[in-house]
Amino acid sequence: MKRLIKNIGCLAGIDSERKHCLRGSEMATLNCISDAWLLIDGDRFDSWGEMATMPVPEDDWDVIDALEGTVLPSWCDSHTHIVYAGSREGEFVDKIRGLSYAEIARRGGGILNSADRLHLLSEDELYTQAMRRVHEIIAKGTGAVEIKSGYGLNTEDELKMLRVIRRISETAPIKVVSTFLGAHAVGREYTGRQGEYVDMLIREMIPEVGKQQLADFIDVFCDEGFFTPDETSRILEAGAKWGMRPKIHVQELAPSGGVEVGVKHNAVSVDHLESMIDEDIEMLKGTNTIPTGLPGTSFFLNMPFAPARKMIEAGLPVATASDYNPGSTPSGDMKFVVSLACIKMRLLPAEAINAATINTAAAMDLSKDYGSIARGKVANFFITDEIPSIDFIPYSYTTPIIARTFLQGQEVK
Ligand code: NIG
Ligand code: FE
């Protein structure tokens, strides 16, 4: 079935060179055509052009009038924790009263609080809660998402989370990739015995996740007060034996050597980077690792923002994702991430949109099929209301702009 979108005010994110990601100064260009049409063949983009060149639709084509709205490739969100139980607004209030994220974690709240709740929830109910968030992010324009485990912290509950992620990928129209994050915190049964927890994770959890093929990637919270670079290295090596590539949490709370470990293990991405130092930027040059900022986390926790501007000046392919989770970022709104990237990280609108589409697709190793409008890529896109320019998207930082959403070429209602 072919679907023709006509009267597009601006067709944005066209990528005829099919680059894996955009680096440094390349990020400032968002290829657009004004007054355009776009043809979808089945679930893939086929062709596009200016209205004057629009093909005559055949009888069985579905023709959609974009009413002068802008068409953008769907957001790609390369870092989320959207499978979780309940919420943690109590800690939100504790933070307002003066406790830090790290203090809440030390007192047994934070990630362990979510693990306790997840343990008590049935797999079906966990799926139902997570699907509500999946529908929420689809409505906000996300078309591909990475989802992590990491609120199980024992073998049984980690597998339960990963099965829920698999069920989401089988039942939702959005593209899902899965990451095993058993090393998010030390499970309660191992309190005070971090080394033994890491040994168990390597001996028991990773082989089980690997045998059941439940994860594409492996993650570790490599940071001060969590897992050390040496522990991270051992965990990543064990994951690599099962084909899980690293995407790791680094340098959020302190410059603790995480970028170096990521580069050493050829990580697909290193994420957070709020405490990144100049040496880390140097280390990332000439590598395939995508540095990923999570500006929603900095906003919510009142922390410094990752030095994205500096990384772009250094020629790096910066990505920005949501980090949607119950503790540090209870939001998966990628348009708001794009606004924060502009307002707080000083990215230009084109840079911020590229950081949230093609570069986040690359940060999930999905840019062959997602993240831009290219012939043969999966037709995940949205049509906005009529807007004055692309710059209006981050500028109008709380205005909903999406009129219609399409995933795999089909409209999502
Ligand atoms: O990416 N920093 C580590 N993990 C999550 C937060 C998890 C939580 O607080 O539940 C993050 O911010
Ligand atoms: Fe995270």
Any idea what the CATH number is for the domain that residue 348 is in?
A: 3.20.20.140
End-to-end CA distance of the chain: 19
Looking up residue 24, the CATH number of its domain turns out to be 2.30.40.10
- Asked whether the beta carbons of 225 and 247 are under 8 A apart, the reply is no
Please identify, by atom number, the ligand 1 atom nearest to the C-alpha of residue 221. 3
Q: What are the CA-CA distances from residue 298 to residues 203, 323, 337 (Å)?
A: 35, 10, 11
pLDDT at 261: 98
Q: Tell whether 169 is covered by a domain.
A: yes
pLDDT at 129: 98
pTM over 0.85: yes
CA 160 to centroid of chain Cα atoms: 21
Based on the fold, state whether residues 300 and 403 are members of the same structural domain: no
Ligand 1 contacts CB of residue 222 (under 6 A):
no
- Both tokens of residue 310? 């500096």
Q: Tell whether 368 is covered by a domain.
A: no
Q: Tell whether 104 is covered by a domain.
A: yes
Q: Which of 78, 79, 80, 81 to mutate to test the pocket of ligand 1 (most atoms within 8 A of CB)?
A: 81
Q: How many residues would you count in the chain?
A: 413
Based on the fold, state whether residues 86 and 197 are members of the same structural domain: yes
Based on the fold, state whether residues 175 and 222 are members of the same structural domain: yes
Q: Tell whether 367 is covered by a domain.
A: no
pLDDT at 64: 98
Based on the fold, state whether residues 352 and 268 are members of the same structural domain: yes
- Asked whether the beta carbons of 24 and 315 are under 8 A apart, the reply is yes
Q: Tell whether 183 is covered by a domain.
A: yes
Based on the fold, state whether residues 50 and 145 are members of the same structural domain: no
Q: Which of 87, 94, 99, 184 to mutate to test the pocket of ligand 1 (most atoms within 8 A of CB)?
A: 184
Domain that holds residue 333: 76-362
Q: What are the CA-CA distances from residue 378 to residues 20, 41, 116, 187, 410 (Å)?
A: 15, 10, 38, 39, 11
Based on the fold, state whether residues 119 and 146 are members of the same structural domain: yes
How far, in Å, from the CA of 126 to the mean position of ligand 1? 18
Q: Tell whether 396 is covered by a domain.
A: yes
Based on the fold, state whether residues 385 and 333 are members of the same structural domain: no
Based on the fold, state whether residues 176 and 319 are members of the same structural domain: yes
Number of folded domains that form the chain: 2
Based on the fold, state whether residues 172 and 238 are members of the same structural domain: yes
pLDDT at 80: 98
- Angle (CA) 205 272 278, round 5°: 125
Please list the pLDDT of the chain residue by residue as tens digits (413 residues).
999 999 999 999 999 899 999 999 999 999 999 999 999 999 999 999 999 999 999 999 999 999 999 999 999 999 999 999 999 999 999 999 999 888 898 887 899 999 999 999 999 999 999 999 999 999 999 999 999 999 999 999 999 999 999 999 999 999 999 999 999 999 999 999 999 999 999 999 999 999 999 999 999 999 998 999 999 999 999 999 999 999 999 999 999 899 999 999 999 999 999 999 999 999 999 999 999 999 999 999 999 999 999 999 999 999 999 999 999 999 999 999 999 999 999 999 999 999 999 999 999 999 999 999 999 999 999 999 999 999 999 999 999 999 999 999 999 99
Based on the fold, state whether residues 252 and 317 are members of the same structural domain: yes
Based on the fold, state whether residues 248 and 339 are members of the same structural domain: yes
Ligand 1 contacts CB of residue 260 (under 6 A):
no
Based on the fold, state whether residues 283 and 406 are members of the same structural domain: no
Q: Tell whether 214 is covered by a domain.
A: yes
The ligand with the least distance to the CA atom of 83 is: 1
